[in-house]
Structure 1
Amino acid sequence: MTAYDDLLAFTRDTIALGEIAGRLGWDQETVMPRGAADQRGEEMAAIESVLHARRTDPRVGEWLEVAEAPDEVGAAQLREIRRVYDRTMKIPAALATKLAQVTSVAQGKWAAARAAEDIAAFLPVLQEVVALKREEGAALAAGGSLYDAMLEDYEPGTSAAEIAATFDAMRPRLVALRSAILEKPAPAALSGYYPAETQMRMTRELAEVFGYDMTRGRIDKAVHPFSSGSGNDVRITTRTDEDDPFNCVYSTIHETGHACYEQNVDLAYLLTPLGRGVSMGVHESQSRIFENQLGRSRAFTGWLFDRMGEAYGDIGVPDADAFYAAANRVHPGFIRTEADEVQYNLHIMLRFDLERALMANDLQVGDLEAAWNDRFLADFGTAVDKPSNGVLQDVHWSVGLFGYFPTYALGNVYAGCLHAALRQALPDLDAQLAVGDTSGATGWLKDNLQRHGARYAPREVITRATGAAPTEAPLMEYLESKFGALYGL
């Protein structure tokens, strides 16, 4: 056994333990009894303590000093191990354990506060989470930007300044497009009753249509849809609304994009640092291209219109064209996950600015709701009516995911680049989607991006797939073309 072999074997066990911790998180969101929250917090803290000890084991540093990569893949493995090791060594074990315990409890308190519309019940534990994340950010930044240090967990190699520049380029065009659209009559929405049981049956069908392997996954319901796991155990959650089937349909397709990325990583990388998606921005590119460029395309919604008619009967729109318009309806709304393609990134920009201010200590937790409501009114022209439509709608801050939100918009940017390349590679894509066949598109994404896992850096894997460095231009051109045609602009 060489130092490289020893290091990989040790890392494999650490990653396996991390997968177990992830399974506990999935359980907490889906089937865990409500009364188990405090105990689960202790369990998560205990396993995080073990993981932190393994990630900072002195042998890892010793192996890294002498390990020689056998090939290019091995060099990528060492790069990722070193990146995680260097970051973890900066975080005190007691802080890592405390964060795991507090965020586990905070997640339950967020869910209860959201259900009760009681922001005051959540703010004390959020204050604790924010204080701990500031402490962690300071340890990681070592005198630099706290927020940039946090971004490194989700989008390695980027900075808040780079993200802000991209957002600044997008924002005027998005606002102009939205303003022009909202001056036009809104298309009719779906109407009717959509039983939850029927929605869940269609959920499983849609996931398989988009390539999800149910023998290595499962689908459950959660307050906030998510995907969890890697390799041969990748799970999806969704949610149902018996008045709005699109909520379930597109949450499912979105999470299927995440799940297929994980299932399609080369199994030679299983339980190694390369065995997962390379970043949350690249991950989001897969979920968003599944959901929007494919799932909301004119071709695919034509097929979906027929399937929903078979499943539910009258759905309140007369034909496939009206259904396509309904699936892409631009309308005022509070909820990020239900936002249309035109307005979605504006939701992200709001969160990006607020969480940067929180981490910089320019905004205090006690002022967060007012800051959110003021910004939402300024950006969207509507006053927030209740906390679940405002600052309590997302789970991310309760579990300490500061630096995560901007990756959603980066994912849209990457998806725009990938979609342009996909269209060039598959000139008959619409003909395939019109009969519910996504295999050409999903196969192209698997071959050109997903199978690589974390072998290449985020921007590099997009560049390799598309032949050009990622920019916001393809996304904006796609949005202006699609919605200009839909609304006769």
Structure 2
Amino acid sequence: MSAFEELMAFQRDTEALAGVAGRLGWDQETMMPRGSADQRSEELAAMEGVLHQRRNSPRIGEWLAAIDHDALDAVGKAHLRHIRRSFERAQKIPEALASALARKTSQSHVIWAQARADDDFAAFAPTLAEVIALRQEEGAALADGGDVYDALIDDYEPQAKASDLAAMFGALRPRLVALREAVLAQPVPAGLEGPFDESGQMKLARACAKAFGYDFKRGRVDKAVHPFSSGSGDDVRITTRTNPLDPFNCLYSTIHEVGHACYEQNIDAAYRLTPLGQGVSMGVHESQSRIYENQLGRSRAFTGWLYGQMRDTFGDFGVADEDAFYAAVNRVHNGYIRTESDELQYNLHVLLRFDLERALISGDLAVSDLESAWNDRFEADFGFAVDKPSNGVLQDVHWSAGLFGYFPTYSLGNVYAGCLYQALRSAVPTLDDQLAQGDTSGATAWLRDNLQTHGGLYTPREVIERASGAAPSEAPLLDYLDEKFTGLYGL
């Protein structure tokens, strides 16, 4: 075999082992017995040690040196771009640190889940401090004298910089706040009054997943404390959660995760178990989950179809007609939980976390002061006080998992989704007629062909520019929100 063929064969096994490690993580959050946490943390640490050795193998450097880059086609060059990036990053991180991070974040997840259930931040704080210290050490190794937080962001959004994201978010905030104030000055539409039984919610969640093209032959839906998507290729699993008083939590969490999952399922099969076989970044990933959930799933057209499905499942549930249901789905109201937030206020939740985690990583904010800093910032941003830690600093799983640098990709994904939706509406002029029938195929096929199939072939910015026809900008998202909520609230 040539050096390139040998490298790709080696990489295939690495990708397969990473899939096994991912399945261990999925099991931990869905089915693992509570008493298995310590053993699972050791298993994950061992797997991470093996993966780190492979990603850092001297043979990769030898193969990269032996390959004639100019002789490769675009796909081959893209493979090398990803492998070289992974190799160079792995060389900077000691194996002991990689294993320690895997072990500690596995333990941390279990401690966080119990602290959240008990509304006891103090029980989680010491473990969180250890996670942050390990991530600071990793970030410093990767930054090589540069900005530590930028190095962590690069794990999730290659080439992104905190300063650029802060500028983009700064441009989002004024129009978001002004629109929110105008909306909240209007009467609040009626919400839903439960209860809605769990079996009905899960049945309808699976129907929504199917409507958006999720392939159940290569996936499954389970329940977890915090909804997520896991896997790639022929094994892509999602989770959701139920609340008897709020079926939208279940339905829209499911549609959101289906957006992630369909991205992975729709990547060109030729890229399976290669560096191109996963979504190219978390920002691009979030663009898919958010456009499925919001621009498509919360549209007037689709909610008209969903209203009929709700009546078929739950009978007369107290909402008079499709217009009232559309208003209920898009109801702007005060709330604590990011994942349950309305479309208008969602990014303000993300911006709060972005600023706090930058301060944690830089050392400007101590973990012992995090809960009070969160509560103060939340009240300043949203105008009311946090009532308990599970509605505040303990609500998200990300920090327990060590995912510092991940949160800004949520808002970046919303920006990307705004750009994509603008192009999608031009490309599929009958979009609303299709969605009104519960038919998402026009939209999902366009997203598949223009973005999802490429996997990691292009850089994040390139894939958005190619699909939308323009450089990423916050303007399409803000224009979409203005038009939607001005119409909804008669502004």
| Candidates 394, 400, 413, aligned match of 2:415 | 413
What are the superposed Cα offsets for residues 64-113 of structure 1, whole Å, 9 maximum, x if unpaired? 11123531100000000001111111001110010000000000000010
| Partner residue in 1 for 2:7 | 7
Partner-residue secondary structure (3-state), 1:347: helix
Contact map agreement 1:192 1:316 (CA 8 A) in 2: no
RMSD: 0.6
> 1:276 deviation in Å?
0.4
| Partner residue in 1 for 2:40 | 40
CA distance in structure 2 between the aligned counterparts of 1:193 and 1:119, rounded to whole angstroms: 30
> 1:190 deviation in Å?
1.1
| Partner residue in 2 for 1:28 | 28
> Which letter does structure 2 place at the counterpart of 1:50?
V
CA distance in structure 2 between the aligned counterparts of 1:390 and 1:279, rounded to whole angstroms: 27
Contact map agreement 1:192 1:314 (CA 8 A) in 2: no
> Which letter does structure 2 place at the counterpart of 1:283?
H
| Partner residue in 2 for 1:227 | 229
How many residue pairs get aligned? The number is 489
| Partner residue in 2 for 1:194 | 196
Equivalent positions of 1:375-394 (< 5 A) are: 375-394=377-396
Equivalent positions of 1:299-318 (< 5 A) are: 299-318=301-320
CA distance in structure 1 between the aligned counterparts of 2:349 and 2:298, rounded to whole angstroms: 20
| Candidates 454, 466, 475, aligned match of 1:464 | 466
What are the superposed Cα offsets for residues 187-231 of structure 1, whole Å, 9 maximum, x if unpaired? 000113211011111111110100000000000000000000000
1:126 lines up with 2:128 in the alignment: yes
CA distance in structure 1 between the aligned counterparts of 2:27 and 2:203, rounded to whole angstroms: 21
CA distance in structure 2 between the aligned counterparts of 1:372 and 1:316, rounded to whole angstroms: 37
> Which letter does structure 1 place at the counterpart of 2:310?
M
Range moving further from structure 2, 467-476 or 192-201? 192-201
User: What is the TM-score with the length of structure 1 in the denominator?
Assistant: 1.00
CA distance in structure 2 between the aligned counterparts of 1:303 and 1:360, rounded to whole angstroms: 48
Partner-residue secondary structure (3-state), 1:189: coil
Range moving further from structure 2, 309-318 or 433-442? 309-318
Partner-residue secondary structure (3-state), 2:471: coil
| Partner residue in 2 for 1:396 | 398
Instruction: Show structure 1 runs of 5+ residues with no match.
Output: none
What are the superposed Cα offsets for residues 144-200 of structure 1, whole Å, 9 maximum, x if unpaired? 000000011000011001100100101000000000000000000011321101111
Partner-residue secondary structure (3-state), 1:236: strand
CA distance in structure 1 between the aligned counterparts of 2:356 and 2:316, rounded to whole angstroms: 43
Partner-residue secondary structure (3-state), 1:87: helix
Instruction: Show structure 2 runs of 5+ residues with no match.
Output: none
CA distance in structure 1 between the aligned counterparts of 2:118 and 2:271, rounded to whole angstroms: 44
| Partner residue in 1 for 2:103 | 101
What are the superposed Cα offsets for residues 278-329 of structure 1, whole Å, 9 maximum, x if unpaired? 0000000000000000000000000000110010012221000000000000
| Partner residue in 1 for 2:210 | 208
CA distance in structure 2 between the aligned counterparts of 1:315 and 1:178, rounded to whole angstroms: 28
> Which letter does structure 2 place at the counterpart of 1:65?
A
CA distance in structure 2 between the aligned counterparts of 1:19 and 1:386, rounded to whole angstroms: 37
What are the superposed Cα offsets for residues 106-160 of structure 1, whole Å, 9 maximum, x if unpaired? 0000001000111111011101000000000100001100000001100001100
> Which letter does structure 2 place at the counterpart of 1:100?
A
CA distance in structure 1 between the aligned counterparts of 2:219 and 2:379, rounded to whole angstroms: 41
> Which letter does structure 2 place at the counterpart of 1:99?
L
What are the superposed Cα offsets for residues 401-459 of structure 1, whole Å, 9 maximum, x if unpaired? 00000000000000000000000001110000000000000000000000000100001
| Partner residue in 1 for 2:160 | 158
CA distance in structure 2 between the aligned counterparts of 1:99 and 1:192, rounded to whole angstroms: 42
Equivalent positions of 1:257-336 (< 5 A) are: 257-336=259-338
> Which letter does structure 2 place at the counterpart of 1:41?
S
> Which letter does structure 2 place at the counterpart of 1:5?
E
Range moving further from structure 2, 138-147 or 185-194? 185-194
Partner-residue secondary structure (3-state), 1:303: helix
| Partner residue in 2 for 1:79 | 81
> Which letter does structure 2 place at the counterpart of 1:17?
L
Partner-residue secondary structure (3-state), 2:239: strand
| Partner residue in 1 for 2:373 | 371
> Which letter does structure 1 place at the counterpart of 2:155?
D
Contact map agreement 1:194 1:245 (CA 8 A) in 2: yes
Range moving further from structure 2, 64-73 or 309-318? 64-73
> Which letter does structure 2 place at the counterpart of 1:321?
D
> Which letter does structure 2 place at the counterpart of 1:254?
H
Deviating beyond 6 angstroms after TM superposition, the runs of 4 or more aligned structure 1 residues are none
| Partner residue in 1 for 2:52 | 52
> Which letter does structure 2 place at the counterpart of 1:255?
E
CA distance in structure 2 between the aligned counterparts of 1:232 and 1:15, rounded to whole angstroms: 13
> Which letter does structure 2 place at the counterpart of 1:160?
A
Partner-residue secondary structure (3-state), 1:318: coil
Partner-residue secondary structure (3-state), 2:61: helix
> Which letter does structure 2 place at the counterpart of 1:269?
Y
CA distance in structure 2 between the aligned counterparts of 1:85 and 1:364, rounded to whole angstroms: 33
| Partner residue in 2 for 1:177 | 179
Partner-residue secondary structure (3-state), 2:190: coil
CA distance in structure 2 between the aligned counterparts of 1:299 and 1:200, rounded to whole angstroms: 22
> 1:376 deviation in Å?
0.1
| Candidates 113, 116, 126, aligned match of 2:115 | 113
**Percentage of pairs with the same residue:** 69
CA distance in structure 2 between the aligned counterparts of 1:371 and 1:20, rounded to whole angstroms: 38
Contact map agreement 1:225 1:237 (CA 8 A) in 2: yes
CA distance in structure 2 between the aligned counterparts of 1:335 and 1:59, rounded to whole angstroms: 47
Partner-residue secondary structure (3-state), 1:307: helix
